[in-house]
Structure 1
């Protein structure tokens, strides 16, 4: 997830976690597919050992959505296989999360899409077309509703009531500059604290640090216009509250 991981999102949003607006799924899911990091609005589906509706959904245009399938945690057959995942990849789905089993693992692992499931199983599912679309589902104690947002990486899976302002899919566009700005901000903040409070460096190199802080400020001034709209969100995500004032004061 580049600079913004699910762990950092959790660290930066204790209020959302406390209110239940941000929830983490239990760590029961295995990672499949080439895309280990994905996010998008959720489409819910509830089935049990039947994959007809799963296939029907993935034949539609995904438009960056994530299909979350509550398969009742059944470990007796696979409700998702290679062909539907290939279709999902081609139709623009961001990911598929299955509270159940999948099969054709090698084929799925070759697809450019994110897939999570409890396990793999060689047996196929029933084809009766039974299930419920767009209904609230409950996976291991976590309630998930159609239209909420899912964020997944190698640390786990988050469910958010609304789209987060620092959405994972948007980060790639400003990661390099954001990294530079963060380093500059940290150096500048440290230098400003030294100047303001007169805290001596233990090695007697205060002047050198002040010089580095001035260089950092110059670098920051040169780059701040690149990311002005996203800078505060970036610092909040990094969990660095000491830099909020500097960001808020940007003209």
Structure 2
């Protein structure tokens, strides 16, 4: 994978750069793929459902509203994502089981951690435009992530 800084130097303003500082919590630091999205608040049923389907190397970008009140992904959902060939998950919210997530061959970026479970009601929206910081994530765009950050653009 091309480093995000090198990609920025090459493509510049055709990309968007996420300014929010997310923590690297997965076993893969460098990851990229086609964007899929979910908007949900303290409810991870849709995340579990989507990550249980074939990912084909995609990255699920989750707008959890920046809430750290409960976790949206843990080790079981993370393991499902690995089994189903997802490249990574970017979460504007919290995760749990961070030690176990760190052992998985999965990129995970999130605001932080919280051991508290989320609701399982299925509230939210799938494959809609979402905004994290000042960056719009459109389903089908391409996202690249590494230790320096996250950039989004066309493949």
Q: How many residues align?
A: 155
* TM-superposed deviation, 1:130: 0.3
Shift of 1:27: 3.7
Rg larger in 1 or in 2? 1
Q: Secondary structure at the match of 1:73?
A: strand
Instruction: Using CA pairs under 8 Å that are at least 6 residues apart, name the structure with larger relative contact order, 1 or 2.
Output: 2
Q: Which structure has more strand as a fraction of its residues?
A: 2
Which structure shows the bigger proportion of residues in helix conformation? 1
Q: Look up the match of 1:11.
A: 9
Say which of 6, 23, 35 aligns to 2:28.
35
Match of 1:157 among 147, 150, 154: 150
Match of residue 66 from structure 1? 59
What are structure 1's unaligned runs of at least 5 residues?
164-251
Q: TM-score, normalised by structure 2?
A: 0.97
In the TM superposition, structure 1's runs of 4+ consecutive aligned residues that sit over 2 Å from their partners are none
Residue in structure 2 matching 1:100, options 73, 93, 110: 93
**Residue by residue, what CA displacement relative to the aligned partner does 1:48-68 show, whole Å, maximum 9, x if unpaired?**
000000000010011100000
Question: Deviations along 1:142-173, whole A, 9 cap, x unmatched?
Answer: 1111100000111111111x10xxxxxxxxxx
Match of 2:68 in 1: 75
Distance in 2 between residues matched to 1:27 and 1:8, nearest whole Å:
19
- Secondary structure in 2 matching 1:42: strand
SS at structure 2 position matched to 1:72? strand
Distance 1:140 1:70 in 2: 10
C-alpha contact (below 8 Å) 2:21/2:149 kept by paired residues: no
Structure 1 position 132, deviation (Å): 0.4
Superposition pairs for residues 106-145 of structure 1, below 5 Å?
A: 106-145=99-138
**Mapped partners of 1:79, 1:30: distance in 2:** 15
- Kept in 1, the 8 Å contact 2:71–2:113? The answer is yes
Contact 2:40 2:63 in 1 (8 A): yes
| Unaligned ranges ≥5, structure 2 | none
Structure 1, residues 165-205: CA drift from partner, whole Å, max 9, x if none? xxxxxxxxxxxxxxxxxxxxxxxxxxxxxxxxxxxxxxxxx
In 1, are the aligned partners of 2:20 and 2:133 still within 8 Å (CA)?
Answer: no
Query: Matched residues in 2 for 1:9 and 1:60: separation?
Result: 30
Q: 2:79 aligns with which of 86, 90, 110?
A: 86
- How far is the alpha carbon of 1:90 from its aligned partner? 1.0
TM-score (norm 1): 0.60
